[in-house]
Amino acid sequence: MRWIIFILMGCLLTGCTVRKEIVEDIYIALGTAVDLEEKVPTDDSHSDHSSNLYRITISVPTFHSDHKIVSQFYKGKGDNLKSVLMNMNHTSDQYISTSKFNILLFSKPIIQLGIQDFTEILSQDPLLSGRITLAMTTGAADRIFSTQFPHTNQPLGRYLYQVIENNTRTFGLPRMNLHQFIYELKGEGIDPIMPIIDIVDERVALTGIALLRDAAYVGKMSLDETYPFSWMKQKRTETSYFKVRLKDHDEISIRNLKTKLRHHYSEASKEMTLYIRMTGKLMESNEAEPLDMTPAEMDKTMTNQLVKESEALVKKFQKLQIDPLGLGNYVRAHSRKWSEQKWKEQYSDIKIKVVIDSTIEK
């Protein structure tokens, strides 16, 4: 009887094969730019309706014998990435693989319309990694792909990914890949975000964080706002350095800044408190003379600055009716009577306080 079961299992699994990809016989695409194509008329000539198409550019690195890396590009139009990729393979001498995608870059008009359907289709593709980084650019996404960056010899998709990854490791930028994006999009009491990259002084640079509601763009955070945001969103962070503004335009830099976060929510008073514990060391100031400040005075100055910036950022989120910090998700996990609809109705009026306990060593 046991051997019959094995035979049946073998028959059922014969169709569950995955395409073999031999490196020498494929092109490994590392990045994709998605722009909004102009509206085009439908097949019905008597109809006034029109549909939006995506303009998609895929970057494929080619390696030469002189160790030089040259990116070649495939371009197409369509309503989803998979159909465009299929057409690209009709014109390619080798199969274009998307299994190693590093980054998916959207232009701002795409994000303004919303990318829920686009990302959900991608998340259902078993050959596409959930670790692919999602990002936005304020200009045309294919403009970044068509720009030469002579200061780096990395493949384009890898270079864009590394710029974002460096900000994640160095400055505590919250990670946003396809898996995390879908989780926060589908999750209750939380909204996704997206890093913004643009060309600055002939280099690609992080310029902010896009704020989304229902996978559509509603606003942005500046680079200065990304610091308190990361501390209020993540349980633990490590930042290489952080600048504290003093009186008379002086500044000090704090290095090896580490934070720990915990929440407390009172259902009776409808009040949320974020407790942030910080430790760090004084790195330098913009003054030649040593600072005439005690560690306690530095702690107080930094705490006042960060509390003010953090609470201002929270009010910004409430005004936009978005919850990128996932406060609703925290309350849901600690309450049996939580209702998403009720939370959305009262979210803008909830009092949210930030309490910071900092320790700065000279």
CA distance 319 to 349: 10
In a domain, 9, yes or no: no
Mean pLDDT of all residues in 292-316: 85
Same domain, 199 and 257: no
**201 and 251 together in one domain:** no
Look at residue 148 and tell me if it is in a domain. yes
The answer to whether residues 217 and 308 belong to one domain is: no
Is 60 inside a domain boundary?
yes
Q: What pLDDT, on the 0 to 100 scale, is given for residue 335? A: 83
Helix extents (H) in 172-294: 178-186, 223-233
Collapse the DSSP code of 327 into the 3-class scheme (helix H, G, I; strand E, B; otherwise coil) and give the result: helix
Does residue 15 lie within any of the structural domains? no
In this predicted structure, what is the pLDDT of residue 45?
Answer: 45
Give residue 46's pLDDT: 43
Average pLDDT (261-280) is 91
Question: Mean pLDDT across the stretch 162-187?
Answer: 92
**Residue 288 binned pLDDT confidence (cut-offs 50, 70, 90):** very low
Q: How far is the C-alpha of 219 from the C-alpha of 317, rounded, in Å? A: 9
Lowest mean pLDDT among 71-85, 130-144, 283-297: 283-297
Predicted confidence at residue 171, as pLDDT, reads 86
Of all residues in the chain, what percent carry a pLDDT higher than 90?
50
More confident residue, 281 or 313: 313
The verdict on residue 137 lying in a domain is yes
Give the integer Cα–Cα distance in Å for 104 and 125.
14
Number of domains in the chain: 2
Go through the chain and tell me how many residues it has.
362
The residue written with tokens 């910090």 in the block is 325
Query: Among residues 236, 115, 238, 233, which one has the least CA distance to residue 185?
Result: 115
Same-domain check for residues 160 and 33: yes
- Asked whether 263 and 326 are in contact (CB, 8 A), the reply is no
Q: Which residues contact 215 (CB under 8 A, 6 or more apart)?
A: 114, 115, 116, 119, 185, 192
**All residues at 6 or more sequence positions from 81 whose CB lies less than 8 Å from its CB, including other chains:** 32, 34, 54, 56, 118, 121, 122
3-state percent helix, strand, coil for the chain, nearest multiple of 5: 35, 35, 30
Same domain, 198 and 209: yes
pLDDT confidence band for 255 (50 / 70 / 90)? confident
**Among 204, 111, 221, CA closest to 162:** 204
Which domain does 313 fall in, by range? 223-362
Q: What is the pLDDT of residue 49?
A: 37
How far is the C-alpha of 97 from the C-alpha of 81, rounded, in Å? 13
In a domain, 332, yes or no: yes
Question: How confident is the model over 184-201, as a mean pLDDT?
Answer: 95
Query: Residue 127 pLDDT > 70, yes or no?
Result: yes
State whether residue 181 is helix, strand or coil.
helix
Are residues 212 and 232 located together in one domain of the fold?
A: no
Q: Examine the domain organization and report whether 307 and 201 are in the same domain.
A: no
Mark whether 322 and 357 lie in a shared domain: yes
Q: Among 181, 204, 221, identify where a domain stops.
A: 221
Do 175 and 115 lie in one domain? The reply is yes
Strand, helix or coil for residue 314? helix
Whether 209 is in a domain gets the answer yes
CA 5 to mean position of chain CA atoms: 47
Query: What integer is the mean pLDDT of 197-220?
Result: 96
Predicted confidence at residue 47, as pLDDT, reads 41
Q: 77 near 55, Cβ under 8 Å? A: yes
Burial class for 237, CB neighbours closer than 10 Å (0-12, 13-18, 19+):
buried
Q: Residue 34's closest CA among 70, 16, 58, 2?
A: 58
Last residue of one domain, picked from the residues 221, 237, 268: 221
pLDDT, tens digit (0-9, with 9 covering 90-100), for 307-345: 999 999 999 999 999 999 999 999 998 888 888 999 999
Q: Where are the beta strands (DSSP E) in the chain?
A: 26-28, 31-36, 40-41, 50-51, 54-63, 69-78, 95-97, 103-107, 133-137, 193-200, 203-213, 216-221, 236-245, 251-266, 271-285, 351-361
The CA distance from 198 to 211, in Å, is 16
Residue 162 pLDDT: 95
- Assess whether pLDDT exceeds 50 at residue 135: yes
Does 213 reside within a domain? yes
Distance CA 282, CA 296 (A): 12
